[in-house]
Structure 1
């Protein structure tokens, strides 16, 4: 995950695609994507106003506002921290062992520091396979990298 999301990209992501799921069981990929396949798109081909190469940025309140960033994701050994930039400086940690088919509360205010947001309701395609008490993810692979 860290290699795909961080090491193999120069600047950042425009959109995460189904290639993030390469190597996952086919049935899980179909459940998560509805059978669709699309590539990830990076921001590596950006043109800066002064012609200099694009560079990774550190997100501050000013850059978050200027770039209209709404979500931040921090990879930790024990899970991924999901931050609603509009509501908090840090967020709850979602354990890597959480079933990716589970649906989380997707309202940004629910992702303030504290426990993982409670379930809003099962996603139709995955409800039969998702653990009953498991939290849900903040966004689909298609939307996770969008600003």
Structure 2
């Protein structure tokens, strides 16, 4: 859900990976075999203690590998698969996240083919709406309440161009 994943991803980008999208992408997608359902507080390494406490209630949990997966054909270990409307629907995926240079695109699956982009500079303490119907590429980022002292989250009015070098992750 965006209210859980976006604060972790925004904080990881801003602090642990020091705004290095390639390093963050390698960690989330290539280097570590984690599922985005299993994102942990290790992504918050390097963030201010007050921010980590506000996001987690001072609890800690690791990102967990997905070593118990099977492919739709029943083989193990699973190979990477392309997420499409069909695979998202049959695998029970509810959200897609695409990492772009300008921010994180949040796509409710399988409703839309594009979603709004949450700017990387958005305050991680922003409360995001978890209702899939609120996430449309035609509307601003759905915020329940903006974080105190933060800039208003921004989203482009149109979907990103397909020429943008982006990295995708999906979540159930």
Same fold, TM-score > 0.5, yes or no: yes
Residue of structure 2 in register with 1:27 after alignment: 50
Alignment counterpart, residue 131 of structure 1, candidates 127, 132, 150: 150
Number of equivalent positions: 134
- Give the gaps of 5 or more residues in structure 1: 136-143
Alignment counterpart, residue 115 of structure 2, candidates 80, 91, 94: 91
Q: What's the CA shift for 1:11?
A: 6.7
**Closer/same/farther in 2, CA of residues 50 and 65 from structure 1, 3 Å limit:** closer
Distance (whole Å) between structure 2 residues aligned to residue 104 and residue 44 of structure 1:
30
Distance (whole Å) between structure 2 residues aligned to residue 80 and residue 96 of structure 1:
7
Q: Supply the RMSD in Å over aligned alpha carbons.
A: 2.5
Q: What's the CA shift for 1:61?
A: 1.3
Residue of structure 2 in register with 1:114 after alignment: 138
Distance (whole Å) between structure 2 residues aligned to residue 14 and residue 121 of structure 1:
24
Alignment counterpart, residue 53 of structure 1, candidates 68, 77, 86: 77
**Contact (CA 8 Å) 2:104, 2:120: kept in 1 or not?**
yes
**Contact (CA 8 Å) 2:36, 2:170: kept in 1 or not?**
yes
Deviations 1:24-76 (A, max 9, x none): 11111111111010011122342445544211111111111111100000001
- The structure with the greater share of residues assigned to helix is 2
**Closer/same/farther in 2, CA of residues 3 and 26 from structure 1, 3 Å limit:** farther
- Give the gaps of 5 or more residues in structure 2: 1-23, 155-168
Deviations 1:65-109 (A, max 9, x none): 111100000001111100011321110111100000011222111
